[in-house]
Structure 1
């Protein structure tokens, strides 16, 4: 990743004036979902593009060094080599964008990737994920630990209480502190949109997070009842566009939670292309947070190459 957002001073006037037209957002989301997606070789090409934007994730209570190792191997070789060879894509260095794990599993992931001679980044959730309700000092320490263990990307969670009660200056200060302890690591800020109440709150939280120096804004932890939805995404990507037009700084976008099918991945790519343009169709500015999505994409690629669908045992799982 190369794009860094230095942030700006908190502009409370900009935040307080923000309003979102709910009906317009819902109408636009319907349009996006109704788009016809590419077929045949064009679809295969878009699906490979989607693979390169996936943060392959495991965030389970039963994570072990061995299943993190398996995840890292899958991230390094996400699509079966014979399928890529058939498409003449075997030598294009196709990997996922990163692997994403809990802080206590960062060292395992770094070790596995190093042993495999892979330069894939390791991302870690931190700051009291998923609820963000632990004391600030504990959350800052968690970021430090993940960075020390080798994480080069940190997915932080905002304190939803501050957003729900309109304490934007306090939210800005917290995110700014996380930004400082991240050091050189890229910081993705999770808004947990399912718990923010309104589109206007989502827009304001997006703005404040970007002002505080977030390199990415991310929809969800994947643990809320509502995760990545198209209406919320439209609100967030338009905040990204507004921020870019005003400051010249590009901020990335990461939908996460509930994205499971190849078809959905294509819709997300179309949304990014239409709302933000081709610059945002790379892993430096777009990520898909997913654990099971890759399996379905690989099935679709298998179907494109062979004309039939694979049995589950034919494709190695992450």
Structure 2
């Protein structure tokens, strides 16, 4: 098992790095290609207490509407919903390459017995989910019970099998650099296919500072093992300009191999339409 190095960078150190990277100027023709690429990275999401058959079907229709092969415009990567809608989404996307992603495991709090959380994951997969977005037990992490967090992720991955597991760290509740780093390390070692920033249900949600810590952890792991771990930014990313910052960080730190839907996602509800409009303007 890989032993991670001590992480010594502070938020102020990270902010300096971020500013250098995200202020990189791109030629207009390159930006045009990036817009299309970002559209294809989106997990188009609805996670509302008022979700229903009508609006979830409409979201699936929206997700399938963007593709234009002549212009090189892709569809989004996945539709992300609550477990109750897993079968509906899976059926709607049956003849497409879009994935059915479900939040599961007592989302967004994680405050439920592990056996019930695992049963919910199993239910989602049985209903057709290709991807599971689980939350870690932040309370356990904060009180130093790292073994519990490792165990819950590992057991969830066992239930998932070949179904991709995205592990939500909820970085806005962790706050400290060391805790974000520790959560990233635990998730990777326990079997996460992706690290994910946030549920989108608290503030702050995704931040560039937390994201770069996660990227650094993935990079160290890859450099030492050759294993690629994916990353997902989620929560409050609604404009192309904001999404571009995350894209540039991935490009700089992890490289071009990560700039596809197999290893990089952005979870959002409004971003897809905004990026699509930016492509066509």
1: CA distance, partners of 2:210 / 2:190: 21
When the two structures are aligned, how many residues end up with a matched partner? 281
Q: Is the 8 A contact 1:175 1:209 kept in 2?
A: yes
Q: Is the 8 A contact 2:193 2:229 kept in 1?
A: yes
User: Which structure's relative contact order is higher, taking Cα pairs within 8 Å and 6+ residues apart?
Assistant: 1
2: CA distance, partners of 1:178 / 1:301: 38
Q: How does 1:163-174 map to 2 (within 5 A)?
A: 163-174=141-152
Q: How does 1:16-31 map to 2 (within 5 A)?
A: 17-31=6-20
Which residues of structure 2 form unaligned runs of 5+?
none
Select the residue among 138, 142, 154 that pairs with 2:116.
138
Select the residue among 85, 107, 111 that pairs with 2:87.
107
Alignment correspondent of 1:309 = none
State the SS of the aligned residue for 1:210.
Answer: helix
Select the residue among 201, 212, 220 that pairs with 1:242.
220
2:72 maps to 1:72: no
| Cα root mean square deviation, aligned | 1.6
Q: Is the 8 A contact 2:109 2:135 kept in 1?
A: yes
Q: How does 1:262-281 map to 2 (within 5 A)?
A: 262-281=240-259
2: CA distance, partners of 1:146 / 1:256: 21
Alignment correspondent of 2:129 = 151
Q: Is the 8 A contact 2:103 2:134 kept in 1?
A: yes
2:7 maps to 1:46: no
Q: Is the 8 A contact 1:37 1:266 kept in 2?
A: no
Alignment correspondent of 1:34 = 23
Alignment correspondent of 1:222 = 200
Which residues of structure 1 form unaligned runs of 5+?
1-8, 304-318
2: CA distance, partners of 1:122 / 1:30: 35
Q: CA deviation at 1:18?
A: 4.1
Q: Is the 8 A contact 1:193 1:232 kept in 2?
A: yes
Q: CA deviation at 1:45?
A: 1.3
2:49 maps to 1:61: yes
1: CA distance, partners of 2:280 / 2:208: 28
1: CA distance, partners of 2:11 / 2:44: 32
Structure label with greater radius of gyration: 1
State the SS of the aligned residue for 1:255.
Answer: strand
Select the residue among 227, 246, 255 that pairs with 2:233.
255
